[in-house]
Amino acid sequence: MSLVVSAGGHSFCLQAGKGFPISKPKGYKFGPRAALVEATPRVNGSPSSTSIQVLATDRAEELKAEARALARAADASVYSPQLLAKKYGSRPVKAVKRTLEILVALGTFALKLFLDQKNGTLDQNKRKRAAELRTIFTRLGPTFIKLGQGLSTRPDLCPPEYLEELAQLQDALPTFPDADAFSCIETELGMPLESIFSTISPTPIAAASLGQVYKARLKYSGQTVAVKVQRPGIEDAIGLDFYLIRGLGFFINKYVDIITTDAVALIDEFASRVYQELNYVQEGQNARKFKMLYADKEDILVPDIFWNYTSGKVLTMEWVDGVKLNEQAAIERQGLKLLDLVTTGIQCSLRQLLEYGYFHADPHPGNLLATPEGKLAFLDFGMMSETPEEARFAIIGHVVHMVNRDYEAMARDYYALDFLSTDVDVSPIVPALRDFFDDALSYTVSELNFKTLVDGLGSVLYQYPFNVPPYYALILRSLTVLEGLALYADPNFKVLAASYPYFAKRLLTDPNPYLRDALIELLFKDERFRWNRLENLLVQGSKDRDFSAKDALQPVLKLLLGPDGEELRTLVIKEAVRVTEAFTLCTFVDTYNSVPSFMRSLIFNGNGALAMSSAELQSMMELRDQVFRIWGLLRSSENFDPALLQPILQVSKLYLCCSLVTKVERDILRHRHRSHN
């Protein structure tokens, strides 16, 4: 049995009975442990006042340690296109040399693929070419390693041979000398290595694009940690690549008409994220924020950061044992189900993107681990991004509008998503959306493929003056990577099918005005209530593990009783009358049909009580059955209280009473008018 042990997004394999030894690096002699951990006293199972003071003291010390770490990272580099242009613009020889290096490497590979196709040996040489591509990406450095990492999670883009080879870019990269790493730790932290760790692995247990990781034991507490050390000269290598890529972006903006998105803006966004990864204190702060927001779920694990031993180029964090999500056999040997872990990842990712808007923008397999306890561990928080608040709600509404084929509403969503300026008329876009999605949505929700939808939507966007904001590109990358990971578990897995319950739940329960209006717009059309839409939302929303029938429709009920709910109250009452008529009529029909035929003429006097078309009768019976099903869905929830719907009944009674009073008043006035005449 083997186990992948990872920290900070880096992994290595342990064979059963052959664990990697924690030993002293050559030349270093470590002393005894310097401190013991004091237990926190408790009184009657609750923290005592002493323990509260201890916690407060610990928090204060943590803040001081974090402040010291920030001071150590004060000179960390920040992405600046102007500084890069100034630096490398004056060094044309180096820039041309790097350009030729990239063109020769990738051009040679492309030529080999062309010759393989021409000679009919493309399939035969797949494994060989895949290994060559991995070698090329490794040789070209961090920027291309990150590109390969992204491709390694896309089984729908790359053949299996390429996936297997490129997956090695996650944790099988060249290392740099250990002496340089240990010297960096001492220089950055300002302490001798032996005063920090009681033991440290003599060689790195994993190497990544930006640094390499050692396994160590803290001297003061004996806790096992992962120590990530940045590669020497990494800033210069990345800076040159982004200088050249940004120049390509200007070329694309000027000469490639098919790409309407600002390529330079996208490149700047990505480059700024990569530069943030170079600041390990920033990564530590990202991890702390991520843990605060999302580790409240018991199946999510985020490692702690040790601020006293963290700087701009050194990151010390809690050690995590786990198996990468793309290693299905290893996960199942631990008695875990991969699809359960993938579903947990999807739920957490949806919360990241659409609740708090703070999301992990680099979820490749090395950063998502299954722990032996069945938790999903998120690692490596260097690349994070945020979804604007308005866009979060627009995305939820957009998905629901798409599933329900409401293309007019879909087109209007692009204003809130900041894809279009408000002065652009969206009416010409509606037919294009209808043409594509009517075909794509001929499948059921469970058959929809996220990548197919993204690609199809992209073809629509290219035809109109859309501008995709940078944050959205990172969302698409995050979701497509997530779908790629899911496909490892099940080639037929559909992220949208697994995600839609979350969208339905949010639409039913979120009080945000945008979502509340989207729900009302979805449920009412031409002053008629669409019961099938409500039933579908309840069926899908109830599949979400956090769904609460108690909270369902609460936003609409609040609006119904509020000062701005007059129009909605009118619609609800009209529908209540229609439902009442349906139940009354269907009860009469059921009674009529239960009576023997020879008695019907005697009881109902043969007066044509059922004088309505079969289509009208069928519509009434379908309405009654739908209401019964929806009531059953609500009642089946453990925490549902029927009294929650009391406001609708009260409003209905009030409306009916007012209608009756108004009718009586009209009759009195009419009678008086006739008497006067």
The residues annotated with a catalytic role in the active site are 362
Is residue 235 within 8 A of residue 211, CB to CB? The reply is no
Using a CB cutoff of 8 Å and minimum separation of 24, what contacts does 272-277 make? Answer: 272/79, 273/361, 273/383, 273/384, 273/385, 273/474, 274/79, 274/142, 274/143, 274/146, 274/238, 274/242, 274/383, 275/77, 275/78, 275/79, 275/238, 276/382, 276/383, 276/384, 277/210, 277/382, 277/383
Q: Give the β-pairing of 206-207 and 211-218.
A: antiparallel
d(C-alpha 174, C-alpha 352), whole Å: 33
Helices (H), 305-421: 328-333, 338-351, 389-403, 407-416
| Burial letters 199-216, b for 16+ CB under 10 A, else e | bbbbebbbbbbbbbbbbb
Q: CA nearest 489: which of 347, 345, 300?
A: 345
How many Cβ atoms from other residues are within 10 Å of residue 524's Cβ? 17
C-alpha span between 406 and 147 (Å, rounded): 36
Longest Cα–Cα distance in the chain: 119
Q: What DSSP line would sit under 480-544, residue for residue?
A: HHHHHHHHHH-TT--HHHHHHHHHHHHHHH---HHHHHHHHHHHEETTEE-HHHHHHHHHHHTTS
CB distance 153 to 483 below 8 Å? no
- With a CB cutoff of 8 Å and minimum separation 6, the contacts of 100 are none
For 93, counting Cβ atoms within 10 Å of its Cβ (0-12 exposed, 13-18 middle, 19+ buried), the class is exposed
d(C-alpha 242, C-alpha 254), whole Å: 18
Range list of β-strands (E), 95-239: 197-200, 206-207, 211-218, 224-230
From the number of C-beta atoms within 10 Å of its C-beta (0-12, 13-18, 19+), residue 157 rates as middle
- How many CA atoms lie less than 13 Å away from 303 in the CB half-sphere? 31
Provide DSSP, 421-447. -TTS--TTHHHHHHHHHHHHTTS-GGG
Cβ-Cβ contacts under 8 Å for 450 (sequence gap 6 or more):
479, 480, 483, 494, 495, 496
* CB contact at 8 A, 316 and 219: no
Strand partners, 199: 217
- Tell me 51's DSSP state: H
Cβ pair 530, 524 in contact under 8 A = yes
Name the token pair of 155: 């089984």
Q: At which residue do the structure tokens 């992220």 appear?
A: 495
